[in-house]
Amino acid sequence: MFDILKNKNYKKVYIMTSKQIVLTGDRPTGPLHLGHYVGSLENRIKLQKTHRQYIMIADVQALTDNYEHPQKVHDNVLQVALDYLAVGIDPQESTIFIQSMIPEIAELTIFYLNLVTLNRLKRNPTVKTEIQNKQFGESIPAGFLMYPVSQAADITIVKAALVPVGEDQLPMIEQTNEIVRTFNRLYKTDCLVEVEALIPKMARLPGTDGQSKMGKSLGNAIYLSDSADTVQKKVYSMYTDPHHLKVTDPGTVEGNTVFTYLDVFDSRVDEVAQLKEQYRRGGLGDMVLKKRLVEVLENFLNPIRERRAHYAQDPQAVMDMLLAGTQKTRHVAAQTMQEVKQVMCLNYK
Amino acid sequence: MFDILKNKNYKKVYIMTSKQIVLTGDRPTGPLHLGHYVGSLENRIKLQKTHRQYIMIADVQALTDNYEHPQKVHDNVLQVALDYLAVGIDPQESTIFIQSMIPEIAELTIFYLNLVTLNRLKRNPTVKTEIQNKQFGESIPAGFLMYPVSQAADITIVKAALVPVGEDQLPMIEQTNEIVRTFNRLYKTDCLVEVEALIPKMARLPGTDGQSKMGKSLGNAIYLSDSADTVQKKVYSMYTDPHHLKVTDPGTVEGNTVFTYLDVFDSRVDEVAQLKEQYRRGGLGDMVLKKRLVEVLENFLNPIRERRAHYAQDPQAVMDMLLAGTQKTRHVAAQTMQEVKQVMCLNYK
């Protein structure tokens, strides 16, 4: 891998780095929640130590199904960045960038669209599911249909070797590698890099309603930016065991969301094990557990909330950080694009 | 309309111009032929006097069905530019640019794809016909399916008010205006401009085989760069009246390609009228007519050929002209993109 830096004399200096490149990111459609933390943010905080990590705020992708709400997308760019900083993503270690400011991604997407058939796009299981969920039917916006191609451009423009994704996103990685292989074969090059998926070991954090997925649209999310009061309210209304009506009733631990959260966030493992036993036997009320979870979550969220408030005092500084990361990414993107255009005979001079 | 120039102090200076903006261009897949001249080049030579004309060498669009032959596309960029200069397109009056060097077109295409449904794309009659011609069926490359969206971006990035097209390309203009209206309504702006089609009065020049369309793939074209020998050979083998076997036979003028060409290129209208009469009566051989046409075409093509040879001596100067035109276009494209991103709330700073 090569890293491009410019020294004071404006000559390019190439510095060898053995770190593997990772691309990850979020669509700025709302603030991040505990599900994001468990599923990916936690992982990124580790990855930034061992990898060369790019984190993309995917505003262009967010617009594919939010094109009628551009202000929402705009506003959430800063909110997502604040969430990143709050949980400990370090802009010195991770390069955070704004997708729409890298025109090379759009250029690469257009080239890739030639290498993918309409049929292949329609066959993508992730897209298929989302078409169903969003009830697009045949009137699916073209931009939405082809966002996997755009994702292939996101990934390959920084030559990522690793992309952390949920299992449901594997078809997208497969599509990317198909494009990479077709491109490299067609244009007799190895300038594009195949990518591997990094699937988190931890199962997905359920929503507060016990549903398998925590999501903004499902209204079952605890946000990293929620106030203590809000967190308490959300935990108090959490799904437990619907048959556990009286304190003395025996309760079920499996699928009981409060226990699922305690397993994730409560470091006092032995105590949690004892509580589970007591709950199963009967004699342990939901409220005791929920109060404990509120305390545990507060211990976790409070420092995040404080850091968030600190950074939120100076939004321009956060934006400057994003612009600097974007600038850095553009150097890399321009280099990839130069190689791409070279092999595609689009190098006019 | 506004034109951006930079003065020596690097401040922007806006110069009002009342000239309407025209966008036209060609796919660099082969040299230009007489059909191009009659159908469009002749018109451009006039338009450059009265309009602010952009001429796009559409290499990205050429790649949508030539992605396996990038070198062919590359090489024809220069050939097409030479044809332009040879026929009298003046780079001082027309801005000639290379599509792939305007990344704003790709960016705009990606945004427009959100505003067009898959159904709408499939319904485009031009695309439908070409899908049939190319026998793509359902395995149509996504890039080809959506080239009308990319064309909408080509047109609107320079805010063209007028696009000279053949009648068969009208659906593309319609699609562009649909996108413009949707965009302007959705983002509460008038930054995009609706476009009008300029359809040439002259019917299409038939190929040398009498087929309705002159085309490279049909093998019935006389190229602007053809040698005198080649032109003679092509004219001698031209389609006339298949029932006109002997000189003394009466012949048919209508649909007789030699007469069609004489009508277009021979300025001695009275003589041509007499020849038609004589041909109809009988007693005028095809060879006499063909020799006349060779002479007429030579008078037309020879100066073009000489100018072409002159410019071809210094291909770097031609390329520099293209790069200068591209640079000029980028200023305009960047201005449009800034407005687009402003209304789409993608203006981070």
Residue B161 confidence class, pLDDT cut points 50, 70, 90: very high
CA pair distance A332, A56, nearest whole angstrom: 14
Residue A284 burial (CB < 10 Å; 0-12/13-18/19+)? buried
CA pair distance A300, B271, nearest whole angstrom: 96
Residue B7 confidence class, pLDDT cut points 50, 70, 90: very low
Buried b (16+ CB within 10 A) or exposed e, A47-81: bbeebbbbbbbbbbbbbbbbbeebeebbebbbbbb
CA distance B160 to chain A (A): 22
- Quick one: pLDDT at residue B32? 96
Q: Which of A76, A111, A118, A150 to mutate to test the interface with B (most CBs of B within 10 A)?
A: A118
- Quick one: pLDDT at residue B135? 80
pLDDT digits (tens, 9 = 90+) for A36-79: 999 899 999 999 999 999 999 999 999 998 999 999 999 999 99
Q: Which of B60, B106, B117 sits opposite A140 (nearest CB)?
A: B117
Q: Which of A67, A73, A115 sits opposite B115 (nearest CB)?
A: A67
Average pLDDT, chain B: 91
Residue in B closest to A149 by C-alpha: B142
Q: Which of B57, B113, B115, B338 to mutate to test the interface with A (most CBs of A within 10 A)?
A: B113
Q: Per the CB < 8 Å rule, is B117 touching A107? A: no
Please state the rounded mean pLDDT for residues B68-72.
96
Which tokens go with A170? Answer: 């594997």
CA pair distance A170, A4, nearest whole angstrom: 31
Please state the rounded mean pLDDT for residues B243-270.
93
A12 pLDDT above the threshold of 70: no
A330 pLDDT above the threshold of 50: yes
Please state the rounded mean pLDDT for residues A307-328.
97
Q: Per the CB < 8 Å rule, is B323 touching A348? A: yes
CA distance A3 to chain B (A): 24
User: Is the separation of the CB atoms in A214 and A220 below 8 Å?
Assistant: yes
Q: How far is CA A264 from the centre of its chain?
A: 19
Which tokens go with B123? Answer: 């319904």
A18 pLDDT above the threshold of 80: no
Q: Which of A176-190, A212-226, B99-113 has the lowest mean pLDDT?
A: A212-226
Identify which of B58, B47, B18 has the alpha carbon closest to the alpha carbon of residue B147: B58
What does DSSP assign to residue A204? Answer: P
User: Is the separation of the CB atoms in A157 and A191 below 8 Å?
Assistant: no
User: Is the separation of the CB atoms in A278 and A259 below 8 Å?
Assistant: no
Q: Which of B70, B114, B345 sits opposite A64 (nearest CB)?
A: B114
How many other CB atoms sit within 10 Å of the CB of residue A36? 21
Q: Which of B110, B124, B321, B339 to mutate to test the interface with A (most CBs of A within 10 A)?
A: B110
DSSP B156-207: HHTT-SEEE--GGGHHHHHHHHHHHHHHHHHTT---S---EEE--SSPPPPP
Strand order in the sheet with B52-57: B94-98, B52-57, B21-26, B162-164, B196-198
- Quick one: pLDDT at residue A17? 60
Residues 6+ apart with CB under 8 A from B225: B31, B79, B82, B83, B86, B305, B308
A vs B: CB pairs below 8 A: 147
Q: Per the CB < 8 Å rule, is A344 touching B63? A: yes
Percentages of chain B per state (helix, strand, coil), in multiples of 5: 55, 10, 35
pLDDT digits (tens, 9 = 90+) for B174-226: 999 999 999 999 999 999 999 999 987 777 899 999 987 898 888 999 999 99
β-strand partners of B94: B53
CA distance A26 to chain B (A): 16
Q: Per the CB < 8 Å rule, is A74 touching B117? A: no
User: Is the separation of the CB atoms in B27 and B197 below 8 Å?
Assistant: no
β-strand partners of A22: A53, A162
Q: Per the CB < 8 Å rule, is B118 touching A103? A: no
Q: What is the amino acid identity at position B342?
A: Q
pLDDT digits (tens, 9 = 90+) for B273-287: 999 999 999 999 999
What percent of chain B clears pLDDT 90, i.e. is strictly above it? Answer: 80
In chain B, residues with a C-beta closer than 8 Å to the C-beta of A103 are 103-104, 106-107
- Quick one: pLDDT at residue A15? 47
B10 pLDDT above the threshold of 60: no
- Quick one: pLDDT at residue B17? 59
B105 pLDDT above the threshold of 90: yes
Average pLDDT, chain A: 91
User: Is the separation of the CB atoms in A21 and A160 below 8 Å?
Assistant: yes
Residues 6+ apart with CB under 8 A from B349: A319, A323
Q: Which of A177-191, B204-218, B246-260, B321-335 has the lowest mean pLDDT?
A: B204-218
CA pair distance A40, B123, nearest whole angstrom: 41
B326 pLDDT above the threshold of 60: yes
Residue B138 confidence class, pLDDT cut points 50, 70, 90: confident
- Quick one: pLDDT at residue A181? 98
pLDDT digits (tens, 9 = 90+) for A193-237: 999 999 877 778 999 999 878 988 889 999 999 999 999 999 999
CA distance A336 to chain B (A): 14
A263 pLDDT above the threshold of 90: yes
Dihedral of alpha carbons B203, B208, B212, B214, sign: negative
Residue B136 confidence class, pLDDT cut points 50, 70, 90: confident
In chain A, residues with a C-beta closer than 8 Å to the C-beta of B103 are 103-104, 106-107
CA distance B53 to chain A (A): 22
Backbone angles phi, psi at B22, to 5 degrees: -120, 135
Say whether B225 sits in a helix, a strand or coil.
Answer: coil
Say whether A240 sits in a helix, a strand or coil.
Answer: coil
